[in-house]
Copies of this chain bind each other. A is one copy, B any other.
Amino acid sequence: MSDSKVTVAVIGTGDIGRGWAALCVAAGWPVWIFDHEAQAVESASAEIAERARRLVTLDRALYRDVEEGVHSLQVGRSLLQACADAQWIIEAVPEDLIIKQKLFEAVESVAPNARIVTSSSSSLLVKDIAARCRRPDRVAIAHPLNPPELIPLVELIPGPHTDGALLEVLKGWLRALNRIPVTIRKQVPGNVAGRIAAAVWREAIDLVLTGVIDVADLDRAVSVGPALGWAAAGPHLTYHLAAGNRGVTGFLQQLLGTFENLWSGLPTWSKLEPEQQRQLVGAIERAYEGQVEQLRTARDRRLAGILRGLEQARQE
């Protein structure tokens, strides 16, 4: 199953939709794209092809597969045309429940034969998204991070009616795309990655706004410090390995007090006031002035290098 090509329709051609499409195109899969906004879809094909080809440069895809995928990439003139042959429909429209509900309803009438329909939603509930569907059994959330064609994590959230066998098919497709699906048992706003990212960013903002460290040094410290550790071992495993052979029990005995002190001192604000927004934006823009495109290229190069390094380490 996971070895054969899957025909995909990506509905919504914003940044996340383009990332999904680039990922599938780079695997040589036939991809249809569609967007209700004619303007959005205009530049989409070219950018998707470019992003897929960049994966060859980054050593994350094979030239032959990418060219095959680019060759079969097509823009649907209607939702019906885009979905007609699709086995997997990926929704990536704006994060608005009504828009998504309507789309999922429309998909039912144009794609009766699609095996799976996934939403890229980061914050809506899968049961709400599928609320108007007669076939909620083939609906799930598959939430990627940015950029979807590079970061392997896909958070998978089945709804109460999602068919378990179909979920396994979906996992096989994701693995065929070199993604790592992780199943969320109980949906909460932000899922797992979003909540952890929110906790980190609040702390990172607070440390800059209170003058503890500047933006570039904060970013560097996280990158070459804790993030490296977590990329090699998640937070729980990190601490399970941090107290010799006594595991997490030994770690808690030694350091729970320190953590409890830190927890009580962490920021708890949940609003970023306009003046703080101005300070933050100013600090970030000063740190990275006018180089967004070069910075993104360098970031992608580092990401690809890390992924190659991890794969080599797993084969050793």
Contact = CB atoms under 8 A, between A and B. Distances in A.
B235 A219 contact: yes
Counting every copy of the chain, the complex holds 2
A152 B198 contact: no
B223 A306 contact: no
Contact of A215 (B236, B245, B269): B236
Given A15-B244, A151-B229, A182 B313 contact: no
B212 A192 contact: yes
Given A193-B221, A200-B200, 6 more contacts: A145-B225, A228-B303, A247-B284, A252-B280, A305-B313, A307-B309
Interface of A: 15, 95, 122-123, 145-146, 151-153, 155, 180, 182-204, 207-208, 210-215, 217-237, 239-242, 244-245, 247-249, 252, 256, 258-266, 268-272, 277, 280-281, 284-285, 287-288, 292-293, 295-296, 299-314, 316
Nearest to A187: B212
Contacts of A258: 95, 122-123
Contacts of A225: 145, 151-153, 155, 182, 192-193
A262 B269 CA distance: 11
Contacts of A295: 233, 237, 240-241
User: 7 closest pairs, A vs B, by CB?
Assistant: A309-B309, A219-B234, A305-B313, A153-B225, A227-B230, A264-B270, A198-B262
A153 B221 contact: yes
